Every structure is written in C-alpha cells, then in structure tokens.
Amino acid sequence: MTIRKVLRAGHPELRRRSRDLDEDRIGSDPFEALLDDMFDTMYEEDGVGLAAPQVQENLRLVIYEIGENPRYEELEADSGPTVLVNPRIVERSEQREEDWEGCLSLPRLRGRVPRHRWVKVRAHDRGGENIERRVEGFEARVIQHEIDHLDGRLFVDRMDSMASLCFLREYRRYHAEPEEERASSGEDDRPSESR
C-alpha cells in the first residue's frame, strides 16, 4: 500500500495537459501498481475521485468511487471502484446545474461550480474494455471534475463567480445540507476533501 503525495494548486504539473495512456500499457505491472497507489491515496484522503496528474503522473487516467464515502451518504449512486483510461466526453446535456465541489489539490476549500447535468463518456476500463456510459448528477459532476484535471483545469476555473468560495469550516457552518452536516459531525477539517 503506497499513499502518494497529492500535488496542490500552484504546482505546474496540475496545469499541464496530460498525454493519452498507451493502450498497450493497460494491464501491465506499472499500470496496475499506479492504479493501486491511486486508490490507496484516494481512500486515505477520503476523496471521491482522483486524476493521475494529481499524483504527478502525466497520463489521461482517472479513478473514482461513489457510495462508500460517509460524507456523501445522501447519494443513491453507488458506482463501485471505477477506472477511466483516456476518457472522452462525447455528449453532454445543455442544462447545467450548480453545486458544491472540493478538491484534494485545493485542501479545505469549497465552491459552487456549474456542470453539465449529464454526460456520456467513452473510455477504457481497467481491463482495457471499451466502455460508454451516460451518467448524471453527482457522478457526472465527478467525471467532469476529473477530466478537467487531465486538461490542466481546476474547479475554481469553472466557477461563475468566486463569491461562493469558502473554507470547509464555514461551508459546514453556513452552507452544508443538513444530512451532510450530520454525516460530518465530529470530523476534523482534514478528511473531508473530495476529488
């Protein structure tokens, strides 16, 4: 089990565009080891998703898991551990909705970000199979957030206004949904970042 260091905003690697992962590498030992590290790191940080550039790997590779995180227990979605290799959004809703996001690379910050309500994504899975999924709501938000990392973008770049940007403590005190507030009571500031 290897917990990788998660780069924070300001590190130039977070602002680079990541390269496609060579499909021949899917299933190789280094590929499997990187994914294991990414999952270990995401679970350790209580994140919902993680993109390879956040652990200083310039590759178009993202992971997420929705459903196990107590901070998001109000969500019905349960994605299981998900790997997207070279993901591409091929269709998106016209309609966007705004909701709160955080990021392991911007610790203790939250902000409201407009995202497409649903997206259709094409990628390879961990085994190299082609997958195409239409996802909506929170899962669609996570995918858009993670793919943005592959293009060197952070959630603050997508905010319509910085007026909602806040620290986690103030978010909890003044903005969190009642369920989430209850789910997070007793936690300190640290283990509550997402994505």
Minimum CB–partner distance for residue 101 and Ni ion (Å):
8
Dist. CA 163–CA 112, nearest whole Å: 9
Please say which residue, 103 or 150, places its beta carbon nearer to Ni ion: 103
Please say which residue, 26 or 65, places its beta carbon nearer to Ni ion: 65
Residue 146 a catalytic site member? yes
Tell me which residue has its CB nearest to Ni ion: 103
Could you give the dihedral angle defined by the CA atoms of residues 123, 127, 130 and 132, in that order, rounded to the nearest 10 degrees?
A: -60
Which segments within 94-129 are labelled E, that is strand? 96-103, 106-116, 118-124
Q: Is residue 110 within 8 Å of 168, Cβ to Cβ?
A: yes
Q: What are phi and psi of 134, to 5 degrees?
A: -105, 120
The DSSP H or E segment spanning 130 is: strand 130-136
Q: Locate tokens 């793919």: which residue?
A: 147
Contacts of 167 (CB under 8 A, 6+ apart): 108, 109, 110
* Active-site annotation holder among 139, 146, 180, 193: 146
Minimum CB–partner distance for residue 136 and Ni ion (Å):
20
Residue numbers of the site for Ni ion (CB under 5 A)? 103, 195
The DSSP H or E segment spanning 136 is: strand 130-136
Please say which residue, 110 or 124, places its beta carbon nearer to Ni ion: 110
Minimum CB–partner distance for residue 146 and Ni ion (Å):
7
Minimum CB–partner distance for residue 105 and Ni ion (Å):
5
Token pair for 82: 């998900």
Q: How far is CA 94 from the centre of its chain?
A: 22
Please say which residue, 34 or 63, places its beta carbon nearer to Ni ion: 63
Task: Catalogue the active-site residues.
Answer: 146
